[in-house]
Amino acid sequence: MIMNVTSWRSALLDANASIRDAIESLDRSSLQIALVVSPELQLLGTVTDGDIRRALIKGVELTSPINGVMNQRPLVVPPKLGKTAVLQLMQANKILQLPEVNEHGQVCGLHLLEDMVAPPALENTLVIMAGGKGTRLRPLTQNCPKPMLPVGGKPMLEHIVLRAKSEGIGRVVMAINYLGEMIEEYFGDGSAWQMDISYLREQNALGTAGALSMLPDKPEAPILVCNGDVLTDIHYADFLDFHHKNQAVATMAVKQHEWRNPFGVVRTDGVDIVSFDEKPISRCHINAGIYVLSPAAMTYLQPNSACDMPGLFEKIQADSGKIIAYPMHEPWLDVGRPDDLAQARQAHTTEARL
């Protein structure tokens, strides 16, 4: 299927753009590709999620120009090429997006593989940690579990379930504790969503990893784990593929966080002033609350013992197991405070208007 004019134009990116501009474009269009063009719409190159991720891994600055990251010789097709031929070309080259370019080298369309074929069914289970009390959101969570707080007319937890379904995940396990009966009553066995939903009922709070010890069957494939208050457009298939290719025991999705010092920083050597930094920006990666765990990771958990996910990663690392970070740039929000909830609701209100 070729995108309509409005959709593919939302992926256009100026040749003078930075990597930060490309990330904003990818987030805005949700097409997983940016088309770098001249003022005459001639295609100069493409930038995908993978290109950005590789740049982030290498430590490339977000202010760097996009021409150092983009693919300058992307595969393209002429207008009116048949759907069968386009699909075969995309599958043979294992690409998700294919620009359509006319005889003058100008972009005139964009083919998306996800619009041509249904997402492949994933054998992996998604475990959602939904047992927290949400104390920072009281009084809203006095009589409602935090994951069930409404955002855009649906509980946050339903947004997570629907996202998983759209990515080909058919089995979800919810770890519940505080007011867990409300979650179980709402979702039941998942049949209303054409999914298989079951529950791990914690008698005591077991942390962000401990409930995994209650899984009735040892997983044969890597499992996905996410917190029940995280709203994101992460692509689970890409996440799993990254984990597999790096042969990791555990993979943590991380998000780059920037913080601007509100003051000018004076760097000294003893009493001597060495340099000045006017309101410098500090950057770091933060835990996004989304993980992939190989079956081997389950052996580091004790039955019914509390364990948080960072602690599990440390145990694996201490035993020489490979733990890695997956740099993500997709939209992400940890709804832990009233301001976060207001931001999530505002974002969904804006989307509804569009």
Secondary element (H or E) of residue 174: strand 171-176
Taking each helix axis as running N to C, give the angle between helix 49-57 and helix 19-29, from 0 to 180 degrees, rounded to the nearest 10. Answer: 140
3-state secondary structure of 197: strand
Beta strand pairing status for 107-112 and 97-101?
antiparallel
Q: Which domains does the chain have, with CATH numbers?
A: 5-116 (3.10.580.10), 126-353 (3.90.550.10)
Residue 33 has pLDDT above 80, yes or no: yes
pLDDT band, very low/low/confident/very high, at 349 (cuts 50, 70, 90): low
What pLDDT shows up at residue 250?
Answer: 97
pLDDT band, very low/low/confident/very high, at 341 (cuts 50, 70, 90): confident
Averaged over 93-110, what is the pLDDT?
89
Q: How far apart are CA 59 and CA 47, in angstroms?
A: 17
Share of residues in the chain with pLDDT > 90 (%): 43
3-state secondary structure of 128: strand
pLDDT tens readout for residues 226-238: 999 999 988 898 8
User: Phi/psi of residue 195, each to 5°?
Assistant: -135, 165
Residue 141 has pLDDT above 60, yes or no: yes
Q: Which of 187-196, 315-324, 335-344 has the lowest mean pLDDT?
A: 335-344
pLDDT band, very low/low/confident/very high, at 354 (cuts 50, 70, 90): very low
Q: How far apart are CA 346 and CA 352, in angstroms?
A: 10
What's CA 282's distance to the chain center, in Å?
A: 22
Share of residues in the chain with pLDDT > 70 (%): 96
End-to-end alpha carbon distance in the chain = 22
pLDDT tens readout for residues 246-284: 999 999 999 887 777 778 888 888 877 788 888 777 777
Tokens of 325: 């970070």
pLDDT tens readout for residues 147-194: 999 888 889 999 999 999 988 999 999 999 999 999 999 999 999 999
3-state secondary structure of 216: coil
Beta strand pairing status for 272-277 and 265-269?
antiparallel
What pLDDT shows up at residue 287?
Answer: 92
Averaged over 195-201, what is the pLDDT?
95
Taking each helix axis as running N to C, give the angle between helix 180-187 and helix 156-166, from 0 to 180 degrees, rounded to the nearest 10. Answer: 50
